[in-house]
Amino acid sequence: MIARISNEEQHYDTKTFDEYLHDRWNSDSQDVTIHIENCPQCQRRIENMVNDNWA
Ligand SMILES: [Zn+2]
């Protein structure tokens, strides 16, 4: 179950994570990384995406 997102604007969307996971983000990836490190909700979303893509 994905945690509810109350402040959706502050999170990155699935498309961004997909590109991030595929290394399409170079110049801006640090911002994404910093957000993920500080956001348990997005950490779970990333984990779910990784499991779906590479399970
Ligand atoms: Zn987030």
Nearest to 31 by CA among 10, 51, 14: 10
37 belongs to a structural domain: yes
6 belongs to a structural domain: no
CA of 22 to the centre of ligand 1 (A): 18
47 belongs to a structural domain: yes
SS3 category, 13: coil
Q: What pLDDT does 8 receive? A: 47
Please count the structural domains in the chain.
1
41 belongs to a structural domain: yes
CA of 55 to the centre of ligand 1 (A): 23
7 belongs to a structural domain: no
CA of 53 to the centre of ligand 1 (A): 20
Residue 30's domain spans which residues? Answer: 13-54
> Using an 8 Å Cβ cutoff, are 20 and 29 in contact?
yes
Q: What is the pLDDT of residues 1-53, one digit of tens each?
A: 455 555 445 799 888 898 888 877 776 778 889 999 999 999 999 999 989 87
Q: What pLDDT does 24 receive? A: 79
* pTM of structure: 0.67
SS3 category, 25: coil
